[in-house]
Amino acid sequence: MSDADLRDLDAFAAVARHRNFRRAAVELRVSVSTLSQRLSDLEARLGVRLLNRTTRSVAPTEAGERLVARVGPALRELYDAVGDIRSFSDRPSGRLRINAPAPAIDHVLAPMVAPFLQQFPGINLEIVAEPSLIDIVDGGFDAGIRYEEHLDQDMIAVPLGPPQRYVVVAAPDFLAGRPRPLEPRDLLGQPLIATCFPSGLLPPWEFEKAGQVVKIAPKGPLATQHVGLQIKAAVDGLGFLMTFEADARSAIGDGRLVSLLEDWCPAFAGPLLYYPSRRQPPPALAAFIAFATTWRRQQAGRSAQG
């Protein structure tokens, strides 16, 4: 089999997996037109149609389903074999794709990026911010970053950062003339600045104290996923805000915001780097895992000394 044949089979497997030419093209880092031509050439060589294409969808034919069932596992074995050989290299290289929610990127991942790439200049790091939980394998990612309650059991997880916590904040002028909340239920009926995911979901505010868990559905004048806008709205007196402590630390420190309900906002475990347990991590990912583990240990040591 020629190199071109192998690349075309890889292209076919990506399209069959995503059922979308654009997403498959992004994964393979080629144009949609190039990907489409590869698939047409493959079908011409085999003399059989592998994909049913319409203006809105793409799906494998019966022959395509049979081919992808055989080719998919074989390609994974091939890539794992190549990864094993590359592990003998002294300097890991190649592309490393990580999917993570924005807070984990801002608070934990961002400080690591430059030191990591300076240590491993042969690695091309791609970080995609994604608020919703996705299938990282199906999405073409080497690893993901999420919090523990969102991980599947067949994933290997590595702690990536220290514990984190949420805080409820509001501007001093906004609080003037109104009673300060002493428990979460005091927020009911108050203007709350909510977080809105692309799906339209408004996650509840969750509090915990002495084993009691209270959830509040945020309702108010503003819902956005943009943290900067949330902080600005809270500083401007638009309402109460629940956000990561790290996002509000500066505004709390200079008095623009006041932290409330401290005893109802316990710390929770930081984010985890996860990847499939059924596959040996490629060299670039193995290098990042080792780097992140050392980084976390060093940061914990500095915190203890401080």
Report which secondary-structure segment, H or E, holds 215: strand 212-216
> What total of structural domains would you count in the chain?
3
Phi-psi region of 83 (alpha: psi -120 to 50; beta: other; left: phi over 0): alpha
Specify whether 72 is located in the same domain as 108. no
End-to-end CA distance of the chain: 60
Place of tokens 């805080």: 167
pTM, rounded to two decimals: 0.66
Specify whether 146 is located in the same domain as 190. no
The range of the structural domain enclosing residue 179 comes to 166-264
Torsions phi, psi of 286, nearest 5?
-60, -40
Specify whether 208 is located in the same domain as 247. yes
Specify whether 144 is located in the same domain as 175. no
Domain CATH number, residue 247: 3.40.190.290
Specify whether 43 is located in the same domain as 128. no
Which of 27, 54, 86 terminates a domain? The answer is 86
Specify whether 171 is located in the same domain as 233. yes
**Could you read off the pLDDT of 114-124 as tens digits, one per residue?**
999 999 999 99
Specify whether 279 is located in the same domain as 243. no
Specify whether 210 is located in the same domain as 287. no
pLDDT along the chain (306 residues), means of 10: 68 86 80 86 89 82 89 76 60 89 90 95 92 77 80 76 92 94 96 90 93 94 94 97 95 97 93 78 89 85 61
